[in-house]
Structure 1
């Protein structure tokens, strides 16, 4: 049975994939993990970095004696998957990304980090604050926000993947974005899909950025279509 790894996004955790994992379990050996500092891997002093998350995935593959795997990466998880494929091409069979932001610069980083103020989130969207506390722990979710903001600021100064890095990625990659995603543009998504050796573009209809708002049935269908 084909092995499939689901990688969560920034501020996310592996628990978000429970329904997708269950739905695909009849066709794939589905795995999930929490990036360090997230979910069950709660507090850490280590900065959040795409490079280090990719090294974590590599170490996880080796610990589980998995030579090669297919990956679905949501948002940041997609960026991590592509970085892994660029540095360790033999580890990755193929990649399906959804809602991954590639157009990082100082302006876009500033725009996104403004949304990660824990005090404002508690005051204006308390239900989201409660959800973050549920995912990462009441004493740790603000740490996740702070470190995510710092990571975005670093990406704004220097992307983890250059255009040359993307162009060298060998495995087949399906790059997808929701047609109503206000964080990730169709233009940046299409540009990356075009730059890849074996890239393809998918636009998900009636889809905004949050994973919980993505049609589960549509996502299951697209996973089955791509992963085979």
Structure 2
């Protein structure tokens, strides 16, 4: 569920970049199947971020059926590269089909399996990294990928505010310095990630209320 009201969400979509036919098809699939994709509000921002960072290489921790990758790919040069990772083989095959439909198959790399293992097989740099896998592993992803992100690159972490498994009230309490009880591992994972990246002087971080909340960290040092 988006953190935006229905009206504001409609406005952001209407005022944002126009999805192509493939993205509309992907949005329809998400709605029909109840698939938790980032949505066009976040997708448009991801593509803009890739343009603003002059991204040539992108890595995703968790790609699902390729929705965020498709948005990213629209900003990459013809010799760019985006690495999609997914543990579900059927979803990765769907991603392959959609990326090919959009003409992005040549710049996409499809990796079936654990993203934490996959990233170790790739040298940097990655200009943009999306973290959107298991929430309790967000901080681990940050630690393993940081050496591959150059100054001027960025990390985006999805579900920084909300998801069906996130206890927002407890997340808010932690962010404000509290110590709530009975925090589940997903909420704790997001809180730990935010604490780590905000405390890292090499990054400047803001949380944007788009989709289910995204934490955007720009590497400054």
Q: TM-score, normalised by structure 2?
A: 0.39
Q: TM-score, normalised by structure 1?
A: 0.38
